[in-house]
Structure 1
Amino acid sequence: MRGAIMGYYLKILLAICAIHELTGGVIRSTTDAAYKKYLALKSLPFEDCGSLYQVNYLQIESCTTLPCSMARNATIKVTVRFDDNGNGVTFLKHEVNWVFNYIRTDAEITPDPCDGDHGCIESASDGKSYWANIFVDESLPVMRGSMLWESKDATDQNLICFQVPVVITV
């Protein structure tokens, strides 16, 4: 009789543990999804142009509305938060272009590449983030266009790609 009661309590305990694990995972994934939704709402709008990883958040210093106003001869910090699917991204090579009337001009980015030597990639509980500075060259035309940003891994695979409307000012 005592063994049967112990078996009964053991089954209840196992059921409670199983429910806890199931709901813990659901709560955790629901919390992650809610946080990513919050980041997306706070993000500067952008057009994804074929990212392998989901970009959850984009911030361009001093830019709150589109098109982003960027003054010539300025250095502007760009911060991106993305979900690397647990792959542990530690290296990003940037290929950034200014696009005006379908003509592409290379942009100067620092640090490039973004790796462990520069502290520009950071791990977060919900993925990764990186920052880089873009220089707005004084030779750029004063007009509307876009900034096309691609971040690639060491094998030149395109991991992150987004495009943002900009207007270059004096």
Structure 2
Amino acid sequence: MRGYFVYYLKILWAICLIAQSVASAIKISRDDAYKKLLSLASLPFEDCGSEYKVNYLNIDSCTKVPCSMARDSTVKVTVLFDDNGSGVTFLKHEVRWVFTYVKSNAAITPDPCDGDHNCLLNVNDGKSYWANIFVNKTLPLMSGSMLWEAKNEKNENLICFEVPVVITA
């Protein structure tokens, strides 16, 4: 009788082990699927050396690249990224307009993005931040790109992406 009892305990243990493995795989797959859906809904961009993975980029009034941006306007940029559980609480933005090898700095608010501005939020397993960029009226009417870098307190580059833009009147 003791042999049957041990046999059934081994079977029960094996079933529990398999169930735990499957549940873990399903959780990983669900998270991966969510991040994949975010990346599919994201505006296309070129990563230029981010430490953290950018999962989603949204630029108001832009549905395709190159993004058309009117001079003398303010555009909201929203980014969802995976901070690898590091608990980022501060981002300093450096944004530049790049036109035929000429770079000019862009005005961003709020900068820095910290706990005082409610611009850096926890979202699911990652972070989200937003900022407003001012499209200066002195920018040339031409195609170029917007180069966006977000750095921490130690000036380490955490997020970097580049998006093609067209400046319009």
Q: TM-score range by the shorter chain?
A: over 0.9
Paired residue for 2:119? Answer: 120
CA RMSD of aligned residues (A): 1.3
Pairs aligned (count): 169
Hey, what's the Cα distance between the residues in 2 that align with 1:56 and 1:119? 20
Hey, what's the Cα distance between the residues in 1 that align with 2:5 and 2:116? 58
Paired residue for 1:158? Answer: 157
Query: Which secondary structure state, in structure 2, belongs to the residue aligned with residue 79 of structure 1?
Result: strand
- Structure 1 unaligned regions, length at least 5: none
Paired residue for 1:59? Answer: 58
Q: What residue identity is the alignment partner of 1:38?
A: L
Please report the TM-score for the alignment, with normalisation by the length of structure 2. Answer: 0.94
Paired residue for 2:168? Answer: 169
Residues 59-99 of structure 1 deviation map (CA, whole Å, 9 limit, x = unaligned): 00000111100011111110111111111111111000011
Query: Which secondary structure state, in structure 1, belongs to the residue aligned with residue 138 of structure 2?
Result: coil
Spell out structure 1 runs of 4+ moving beyond 6 A.
none
Q: What residue identity is the alignment partner of 2:138?
A: S
Please state how far the C-alpha of 1:12 moved relative to its aligned partner.
Answer: 3.0
Paired residue for 1:46? Answer: 45
Residue 90 (1) aligns with residue 89 (2): yes
Hey, what's the Cα distance between the residues in 2 that align with 1:122 and 1:102? 34
Q: Pairwise mapping of residues 111-150 of structure 1 onto structure 2 (< 5 A)?
A: 111-150=110-149
Please state how far the C-alpha of 1:14 moved relative to its aligned partner.
Answer: 2.5
Hey, what's the Cα distance between the residues in 1 that align with 2:125 and 2:14? 29
Hey, what's the Cα distance between the residues in 2 that align with 1:91 and 1:21? 37
Query: Which secondary structure state, in structure 2, belongs to the residue aligned with residue 81 of structure 1?
Result: strand
Please state how far the C-alpha of 1:21 moved relative to its aligned partner.
Answer: 1.8
Please state how far the C-alpha of 1:9 moved relative to its aligned partner.
Answer: 3.8
Residues 23-48 of structure 1 deviation map (CA, whole Å, 9 limit, x = unaligned): 11110111111111111111100011
